Amino acid sequence: MKLAGRKALVTGGANGIGFGCALELARAGADVVINDLQETEESTTALEQLRQQGSQAHFVAGDAFGHDSGGQIVSESLALLGQIDILISAPAFSQRGDFLDYPRELFEKTLTGTLTGHFSMAQHVSQHMVSRGGRGKLLFISSVHALRPYARAIAYNAAKAGLDHMAKTMAVELIKHRINVNVINPGWIETPGEHRTFGSKTLAEEGPKLPWGRIGQPADIGRTAAFLVSDDADYITGTSLVVDGGFSLKDALG
């Protein structure tokens, strides 16, 4: 129970990687607010699973991509939790397409959802942390797309690369407040979004071909997140950690 007594906000926490992180935090003893755009059957089920772990878990609906709406999410979370010790910022928007035909509007929407929204949420939470004397954990869910220029993902690649660098800049500025800022770069993780993008058949076929012999699971990222926001990682800040089962090394295997 390394996180007993800690209060966490997980944006994009109703499913996929966000929920995987929220669940592992709850298992480690944290009380958790999960956020998503709106309440759904999926978010209700997620909340039930968190509470089964003994967490005082809550759901806050709201748009984590917008600055003002992000501030409202933080305010509602503070009303429920009393304070926020941990922010895991997980949401993203991605739609693939060829660079030559990629609409500018879609590029800007991707940057807003996958970069700018993280800035806003982190700023609101950091202001709260500093106002109560400092200390806290900010953790961003990025991607191996930040490190490699995958085709037909120009906006997502750019946004994730920007997120990594932005997080390190935050780490520099927040050191004096003893706020740790880190990033996880997941590889191919089985989430509802990946099923929509690639299809369940493709995921089942391609998973065993990956270097680790399986596709990643949200729990793989969640367990890493639970470590990085614990006291065990007190001396880690400004770091991007690849968690991909060797996915980014597959071309080196020969």
Catalytic site residue from 102, 150, 156, 235: 156
The identity of residue 20, as a single letter, is G
- Buried/exposed 5-29: b ≥16 CB within 10 Å, e otherwise: ebbbbbbbbbbbbbbbbbbbbbbbb
Neighbours of 195 (CB within 10 A): 14
The amino acid occupying position 67 is H
Task: With beta carbons less than 8 A apart as the criterion, state whether 96 and 152 touch.
Answer: yes
Alpha-carbon distance of 165 to 107, in angstroms, equals 19
**Residue 198, burial from CB neighbour count under 10 angstroms (0-12, 13-18, 19+):** middle
Nearest-CA neighbor of 90 among 135, 33, 170? Answer: 33
Which position has the token pair 């270097």? 211
Residue 170: DSSP 8-state: H
Beta pairing partners, 185: 242
Active site (annotated) includes residue 156: yes
Token match 């929407």: residue? 109
Query: Which sequence positions are flagged as catalytic?
Result: 156
